Chains A and B, each alone.
Chain A
Amino acid sequence: MGLDILVCIKQVPDPDHFSEVRLDARTGRIVREGIPAIINPLDRNALEEALRAKAKVSGKVTAISMGPPQARKALEEALAVGADRGVLLCDTAFAGADTLATATALFCAVRKLGRFDLIFCGNETVDSGTAQVGPQLSELLDIAQVSGVREVSYTGDNTLEVKRVLEHGYMRVRLKLPALLCVTKDTNQPRLPTVQSIMEVAGKEMITWTATDIGAPREHVGLKGSPTCAVGVYESKSGRRREIMQGSTEEKVRRAVTRLRELGAI
């Protein structure tokens, strides 16, 4: 028996290289080329939680991602840690999507793949960090959803209880499957692939679908399907004084304290 489990993953630029991002002066667009890509860190936690669920209550784990062709690598990494199947949604029609349009594309794919009992997402991505796709996908699928999940307990008979973090404390929420859970970096420790599991990747199913394959209406995905859009991107300017104190340590400190008083800080 077991559960059909889905994990949504995204390939993102490596945060260690964020400072290298540039704006194309001519088009005003973000230049991502040359910045190495990784699987979104929290998506690894989502994958790990899915694999643990599979181990606990048995089932099959599908990893899905909407992205350019290179996002395939992120799906392969998911297969390498133990996902059973990978699905890549790749189409120029998906480009420029905001979170609602992204959730719509994922929804169409889920509709084609069939019912899922449990869906795991990372709470947010490191690049845009909206934390919106998970909740929005759950709405389109009309299933229960909780973000900030720290702990999952399988209480049997299609029910779950989760511990959900708050700023100062936590909440316990009871859920009925099907459900979508967004996990945090503290939820678990993502496993590393093993040599064995790496070698098993080649034998696993990897599907690539276009917008047409999943029956996604063009006006609901990509830029066309995005209620919000960026009208400009700017490098962050800092209007700071940048006064570096000079002299010996004592002189620097004395001058700094004086300046802080002058500025009304102390």
Chain B
Amino acid sequence: MTGREMGSSGEIWVIAEQRGGKVAEVSLELLGKGRKLSRELDLTLSSVLLGDGVERAADELVFHGAEKVYLFEEERLGYYQGDAYARLLTDIAREHGPEIILIGATEIGRELAPRVAARLGTGLTAHCIDLHIDEVDGTPRLVHMVPGWGGNLVMHVVCSEKRPQIVTVKPGILPKPERNEDNKGEIVRVKPRLRADDFSRMETVEVVEETAEGIPLEPAEIVVCAGWGMNALGDLSKAKELAGVIGGVVAGTRPATDRGWVGEDQMIGQSGRSVRPRLFISLGASGAMHYTTGFTGSQVILAVDKNPQAPIFQVADIGIVGDLGEVLPCLIEELKKTG
């Protein structure tokens, strides 16, 4: 059974997002998953890119596995434009009939995807944590795995009839594929025939970048996350020291963010960032589900908390039950000692 028997064009698309010509990490992560699915289902992995002066970005998509890139370039598409982007994507999707469309569940993706899905009258599954193929009566189908209820449950969702089936995935959930400059791919330049009514009722007039405080979270190899329990120490200095000793980045839970210890863009959790570092250290956070979903993709999880019943110990690899005031200095010393 092959994917071609499922739909018309034999393609799986990744709608790539770019900002200022740089491809969003999540789009590359989706190419990784897309590649895997394309092999399993015998589909072509294509990507769609809209923007202005984004040729280099199109190349990056190919270097990360896209076999084909539909490139829309136009000055007026430089910023994300809600109506224009939605129409262009809908039109090209109708024209080529991809089987599956993957979109990053970014701020823009979460707005664009449902609009395109509604125009196409098709199904959309939001913020999947994984996709896999299973078989029903010998027919392969794509199963979308979606966390719900604060991460306590995982739903398996399918879009049985409508095509394309559209899925969004949050950044930091899927692994990024290898970059290979030897990859070859076809760049298809599409002329975006823009109309006056693409901008008449809605127009983006400005995009303002605000740099995040501190080192970006998602690519970090080691993350030290401060929870409410750090209150006993008064501030994050020990957490920062620990991060410094092992080369990690400091983040926080929702209570820590509310407290002002870390900024909103360093908040880990359901309503914040997701990370999958090599090592995730949770300090003084009890482990509520809407927090743990933010780091379940981590390779190794170390948790420190004073409450032995804290749910965090259920999702950690290594657990230390103890007073943060005692454990942290000790941990810092031990790590310094053994280099």
Contacts and interface: CB of A to CB of B under 8 A. Distances in A.
A touches B (Cβ under 8 A):
yes
B327 A171 contact: no
B335 A257 contact: yes
A161 B138 CA distance: 52
A167 interface: yes
B211 A168 contact: yes
A144 B301 CA distance: 44
Contacts of A263: 299-300, 317-318
A23 B143 CA distance: 20
Among A131, A228, A259, A260, find the residue whose CB has the most chain B CB atoms closer than 10 A: A228
A21 B126 contact: no
Given A100-B117, A171-B80, A240-B301, A254 B334 contact: yes
A236 B152 contact: yes
Contact of B152 (A21, A144, A182): A21
Given A147-B107, A238-B315, A253-B327, A232 B156 contact: yes
B53 interface: no
A234 B146 CA distance: 10
A249 B205 CA distance: 57
Contacts of A18: 149-150, 152, 289-290
A188 interface: no
Interface stretch (B61-69, B94-102, B108-116): B108-116
Interface string B147-190: 11111111111111110010000000000000000000000000
Given A146-B111, A165-B107, A259-B318, A228 B159 contact: yes
Contacts of B114: 99, 130-136, 139
Interface stretch (A111-119, A173-181, A207-215): A173-181
A231 B157 contact: yes
A130 B322 CA distance: 38
A128 B201 contact: no
Interface in A95-148: 98-100, 103, 126-136, 138-140, 143-148
Interface residues of B, number: 88
Contacts of B119: 139
A265 B153 contact: no
Chain B interface mostly helix, strand, loop or mixed? mixed
30 contacts: A13-B149, A15-B290, A18-B152, A19-B152, A19-B289, A30-B149, A103-B118, A127-B149, A131-B114, A144-B201, A145-B82, A169-B209, A174-B205, A176-B200, A176-B201, A176-B202, A227-B159, A228-B124, A228-B159, A234-B156, A236-B147, A240-B314, A241-B317, A241-B318, A243-B317, A250-B330, A263-B299, A263-B300, A265-B222, A265-B299
Interface of B: 79-80, 82-83, 106-108, 110-111, 113-115, 117-119, 121-127, 143-144, 147-162, 165, 200-212, 222, 246, 265, 270, 278-279, 288-290, 296, 299-302, 308, 311, 313-323, 326-327, 330-331, 334-335, 338
Interface of A: 13, 15, 18-19, 21, 23, 30, 98-100, 103, 126-136, 138-140, 143-148, 161, 164-176, 179, 182, 226-236, 238, 240-245, 249-250, 252-254, 256-257, 259-261, 263-266
